Structure 1
């Protein structure tokens, strides 16, 4: 067996239970044969379609909650990256042979995340056990053995529901504590010397994907210069908040003594090797010098800062990008680049929650940011920050936190 290649696609199709794969947008990516057979659907009726278009709520049952409960469970899995076992659900299914007629069905679903290398959920495993016949059997006269079985099933279902409630309460408490810690560690929005800045931190909505993003502004010696940085720690919750605080403090100290952003990131990378959870952190460091009208920058795997010119052009600072912290086994000096700016230009640094979407290429998000900056180029700093969040974050709430720093040059 060790020398035999396993065809996992065949294994997936041969699984004896109902299993489907959903994208984070709840579109069917795949479903095994048992899922299609029990659901009474063909592959063409399912794959590539939105879950609740394939299985909508029964319009004749205004009290039905199956679709709402399933949607809440899947949102928790995508947002928190945690497995969720649902209580028994009634979820009627429309007959494929008699459209408009609905069959009363009962399901026991379990939803689990598949996480990519960046720590984000890329797929959801949606496993379902169809228990309609068992529920219907309860309406028939029960023997002693049936009563014992019914009582056991009821007890187990209640225990599972209580465990899920306690987990949700614990997650909510951790989120509150982590956000409070995050806000305490991030600097208050205030001018650096006489230079104006607008900063924002926007936590993810209804999820634990918070507290990994940070920003920092440092007053540098040796002329009219400041350092500006943003970073993103892999992970979420209290652990990410702790790592964020350590890295932010270390980078701020390194910026004061380093001969430029590349050297500061070199020092941060060496320090990060001793911090659990700091690996694969992305960060970009900039040094803005008003005496020379230059921006010197270096990036450790982070998204490029955007320079909004007075004429509306947007230039992305992407000429000094290296892998994230800890991504290389051996230490290698990081690159550094310089760009000129004119008085009245605007520098924008941000984290991935502002522009990244799981269903599109990163270039689409960058283009969306450039378009928003061009449209709002005449807006003053604070309203500009609000406009960018309003235009670029999803209407239903972001699944990742967002840090944003805007400097008027």
Structure 2
């Protein structure tokens, strides 16, 4: 059966467990039948209402923490884009039949994100496992025993919250160190003769998935030629920054002595096989020759450079693409191709953070890039680089870092 034949709304409605959908502002969008049945709320009493207006903490119990713990979990999902499983929670629910009376419930929630095309959280899946009857079947927490259990649950929840805070602080410190290291290894490029180039790097926002992207510009011997490259390391953080620095340095050195960009990537491929963490990294190397008005290029699994013509047409350099570094079982020579250019054209190299979005085919991102380049075809490299970042990256930042080089030809 294909996806087109599956009634996903019907599947959601019939799910045997309690499942609700919330906006990032914690407003109910939908709830399946089991959620309505167990919670004692109809769909009309849920949809469009704020979660904690429907299920507030018991005002008669000053020690109640269910709402606070659930809110903290849902905020973590919105901020990180990752699922969050909660410890067993006591969450008293006001009786619909007897207003003012609160029924003791024990729920085990799991909260997960639904991401939009730009990688941001657009919905929250709130799944609840009702375990009240299980606890009652084992003797039920009543009186002193109930207070002891509640105190234990509160302590465990606090411990988990404190652990998450320490992990976030540690991640933030590692992110800062990794970014500082990357900045030291990716200085602003120096003059490349009369040619204009703009370089940009934007780290991922609110994530540790940074410091794997790199770029390089180098003057080549034998005429009016430069080598321009970008690459992307699979890992992130300090490890990625270290691998990135090694690969960038190796390709920069290889470019100065190689016969062409394919041979430079051949050397980098051999080197990457000896560097832990460099496997399956991607890179693209271009050689711009103004004497011949030709761009020679070779790609190791990287998104294709874009050649913007003065008339606004965009040609993606994709005729010399091979697998990422170290992906071949045995080393093999990499392909190389050439593309002519005219004065006034522009060459754009970038990493996947500029074009890729979760749950979207890469062709959609390439089409967006081509449209943006056509709109700004008259812009100089610095202005074009700023315009591309402004239009291509999601509002608030991307979930992957981005390197970008724009060269005026």
TM-score scaled by structure 2? 0.76
- The structure 1 residue matched to 2:77, chosen from 74, 80, 87, is 74
Alpha-carbon spacing, 1:131–1:356, altered in 2? closer, same or farther (3 Å):
same
1:294 aligns with 2:294: yes
Q: Deviations over 1:236-275 (max 9, x none)?
A: 1111111101100001011011110100000100100111
Residue 369 of structure 1 aligns to a residue in which SS?
helix
- 1 CA distance for matches of 2:108 and 2:20? 14
Residue 387 of structure 1 aligns to a residue in which SS?
helix
- 2 CA distance for matches of 1:85 and 1:373? 43
1:200 aligns with 2:200: yes
Alpha-carbon spacing, 1:40–1:295, altered in 2? closer, same or farther (3 Å):
farther
- Please list, as runs of the form range in 1=range in 2, the aligned pairs for 1:78-157 lying within 5 A after superposition: 78=81, 84-86=84-86, 108-110=108-110, 128-130=128-130, 143-157=143-157
Residues 300, 321 of structure 2: 8 Å contact kept: yes
Residues 87, 153 of structure 2: 8 Å contact kept: no
1:325 aligns with 2:325: yes
Q: Deviations over 1:101-147 (max 9, x none)?
A: xx99875445689xxxxxxx9xx997644467899xxxx99533233
Alpha-carbon spacing, 1:73–1:367, altered in 2? closer, same or farther (3 Å):
same
Residues 348, 404 of structure 2: 8 Å contact kept: yes
Task: Compute the RMSD of aligned alpha carbons.
Answer: 4.3
Partner residue of 1:390? 390
- 1 CA distance for matches of 2:324 and 2:69? 43
- Gapped regions of structure 2 (runs ≥ 5): 1-14, 58-66, 96-102, 114-120
Partner residue of 1:98? none
- 1 CA distance for matches of 2:383 and 2:106? 51
- The structure 2 residue matched to 1:57, chosen from 51, 62, 68, is 51
TM-score scaled by structure 1? 0.76
Partner residue of 1:266? 266
Alpha-carbon spacing, 1:56–1:355, altered in 2? closer, same or farther (3 Å):
farther
- Please list, as runs of the form range in 1=range in 2, the aligned pairs for 1:22-61 lying within 5 A after superposition: 57-58=51-52
Partner residue of 1:368? 368
Residue 192 of structure 1 aligns to a residue in which SS?
coil
**Larger displacement relative to structure 2 (359-368 or 334-343):** 359-368
Residue 194 of structure 1 aligns to a residue in which SS?
coil
How far off is 1:149 after superposition? 2.0
- Please list, as runs of the form range in 1=range in 2, the aligned pairs for 1:218-229 lying within 5 A after superposition: 218-229=218-229
Alpha-carbon spacing, 1:94–1:365, altered in 2? closer, same or farther (3 Å):
farther
- Gapped regions of structure 1 (runs ≥ 5): 1-14, 46-51, 96-102, 114-120
Task: Report which of the two structures shows the higher radius of gyration computed on alpha carbons.
Answer: 2
- 2 CA distance for matches of 1:276 and 1:240? 10
- 1 CA distance for matches of 2:328 and 2:47? 45
Residues 203, 210 of structure 1: 8 Å contact kept: yes
- 1 CA distance for matches of 2:154 and 2:33? 30
Q: Deviations over 1:62-93 (max 9, x none)?
A: 99778864443224553xx7x74457789999
- 2 CA distance for matches of 1:104 and 1:150? 11
Aligned residues: 363
Residues 227, 287 of structure 1: 8 Å contact kept: yes
Partner residue of 1:210? 210
How far off is 1:309 after superposition? 0.5
- 1 CA distance for matches of 2:375 and 2:75? 36
Alpha-carbon spacing, 1:402–1:321, altered in 2? closer, same or farther (3 Å):
same
Alpha-carbon spacing, 1:89–1:209, altered in 2? closer, same or farther (3 Å):
farther
**Larger displacement relative to structure 2 (368-377 or 354-363):** 354-363
Partner residue of 1:12? none
- 1 CA distance for matches of 2:128 and 2:358? 25
Partner residue of 2:246? 246
Alpha-carbon spacing, 1:183–1:141, altered in 2? closer, same or farther (3 Å):
closer
Alpha-carbon spacing, 1:111–1:168, altered in 2? closer, same or farther (3 Å):
farther
Alpha-carbon spacing, 1:370–1:68, altered in 2? closer, same or farther (3 Å):
farther
Partner residue of 1:178? 178
Residue 208 of structure 1 aligns to a residue in which SS?
coil
Alpha-carbon spacing, 1:111–1:61, altered in 2? closer, same or farther (3 Å):
closer
